[in-house]
Structure 1
């Protein structure tokens, strides 16, 4: 995989993947505003799968688990402009405009395709990536412009951007049943459920009567089996969407668990 990134600051970058695809299971520490220049991205979250292409503009909220799969397309690399909206920056911004912290209403991905003001704002960043000396404070001004546009076109955006709460202790069983397909370190699962790693493991065993690693592997393989039987998906797609890192390990684990390989299951048609 050949990856290149150019930065205006650490919060604004031009990202480019030249190879066949790139896959990552991540938790978004910051809100991310993304404009697609070329390529394709599949974002798999607990509530659904999203597909983004050239020209799309979308905002991914922070503290969300997702599987990201980036593909080049039509002979062009996967290229995006990415703007991080950090909690510190947003806290200062909302303090200055007199908006108090809010309780989040919805933490789902938001789409802003074909909006001329927002596209113009993000497109105007392109020349800055080629400059060695930048105008003072340009990143702050551009992020301010983007957030101002978002607030003017999305009446509910403050409920997301002006929410600065960290995850509290929540129902562990419900959260894990919803998010088991994301290949996150256990420390991340603990953080997102409001627990230390030690408390997470202890509570997990009380609820599921097994270790997190064994439970996660079984749940991912069961989901893979369902995807093969009901959705007729290809092994290479299912492998990454259910939380495995490579196809050979996935196929080995699947056959060990079920007694037959994914290709055999698909060939049987059952």
Structure 2
């Protein structure tokens, strides 16, 4: 089996992937604390990229659009423990404590090696071998322990974890121009811009005078054309970074828009 996920409970999982690469595009509903045991993870955001190797620990904040590419490396599978830090859990942790908040930075958090954090996450491994259901009270303790350690080792983390606000209505054109390459459902784009799906579609048409689907496809293909023609990238390097699920669909859509395939474009140079 190329991809396997073992769950301690719905909030804690161990993934093991042995294929060439595994890609997902997401804006998670929960903060995701990841301990990468082996392999490599690339995270692509609109204006920044991250590469994490085995032994890394990082936090993907909720509602952050990103393409996540997991790759086995050095003969080892991509193996990682992921813990969901939900708003519900965080509200229980922070309670009524009044912490002065900074503006939450729009970035991935990477944590330096720390014995408390490493031991907390490593202690989860034996539980994945259990055949019976993992007790909820112990899972809750593990999540609370992880949150406590994060707030101890990184004083800036409260600005992310203690921020329970939902997305406000923001400039739709600016957001879409920045994030069009992420293959999200329209409902998610609407939510992240502070709109219902109906309002999102209405506002989008007012601004761009075209449907979101057509606009997104054209923008992604224009970017792909630039990457191929000007940056000398290969089609297989481009398609999964601009919101296409597979190479054949990308090639078909590219030829339909430009009249020639990605390989023909490269051959013209």
Alignment TM class, shorter chain as reference: over 0.9
Residue 153 of structure 1 corresponds to which residue in structure 2? 153
Residue 99 of structure 1 corresponds to which residue in structure 2? 98
Query: What secondary structure sits across from 1:137 in the alignment?
Result: helix
The total of aligned residue pairs comes to 268
* 1:182 and 2:188 are equivalent in the alignment: no
Residue 261 of structure 2 corresponds to which residue in structure 1? 261
Residue 114 of structure 1 corresponds to which residue in structure 2? 113
CA distance in 2, matches of 1:208, 1:137: 50
Residue 224 of structure 2 corresponds to which residue in structure 1? 224
CA distance in 1, matches of 2:102, 2:52: 28
Residue 252 of structure 1 corresponds to which residue in structure 2? 252
Distance 1:42 1:136, change over 3 A: closer
CA distance in 2, matches of 1:145, 1:34: 15
CA distance in 2, matches of 1:38, 1:147: 23
Shift of the alpha carbon at 1:107? 2.6
Query: What secondary structure sits across from 1:226 in the alignment?
Result: helix
CA contact (8 A) 2:254 2:262 kept: yes
Query: What secondary structure sits across from 2:260 in the alignment?
Result: coil
CA distance in 1, matches of 2:240, 2:112: 27
Give the aligned CA root-mean-square deviation in angstroms: 1.8
CA contact (8 A) 1:58 1:113 kept: no
CA contact (8 A) 1:167 1:194 kept: yes
CA distance in 2, matches of 1:145, 1:230: 49
CA deviation map 1:174-227 (0-9, x unaligned): 110011001111111111111111111111011011111111011001111121
Structure 2 unaligned spans of 5+:
none
Residue 241 of structure 1 corresponds to which residue in structure 2? 241
CA distance in 2, matches of 1:140, 1:106: 27
Structure 1 unaligned spans of 5+:
none
Residue 195 of structure 1 corresponds to which residue in structure 2? 195
Segments of 4+ moved more than 6 angstroms = none
CA distance in 2, matches of 1:248, 1:95: 50
CA distance in 2, matches of 1:44, 1:123: 27
CA distance in 1, matches of 2:112, 2:56: 5
CA distance in 1, matches of 2:9, 2:103: 28
Residue 127 of structure 1 corresponds to which residue in structure 2? 126
Query: What secondary structure sits across from 1:146 in the alignment?
Result: helix
Shift of the alpha carbon at 1:135? 6.3
CA deviation map 1:2-37 (0-9, x unaligned): 322222221111111222222222121100010111
Residue 168 of structure 2 corresponds to which residue in structure 1? 168
Query: What secondary structure sits across from 2:213 in the alignment?
Result: helix
CA deviation map 1:125-178 (0-9, x unaligned): 111111235567222222122112211221111010000011111110011001
Shift of the alpha carbon at 1:101? 8.2
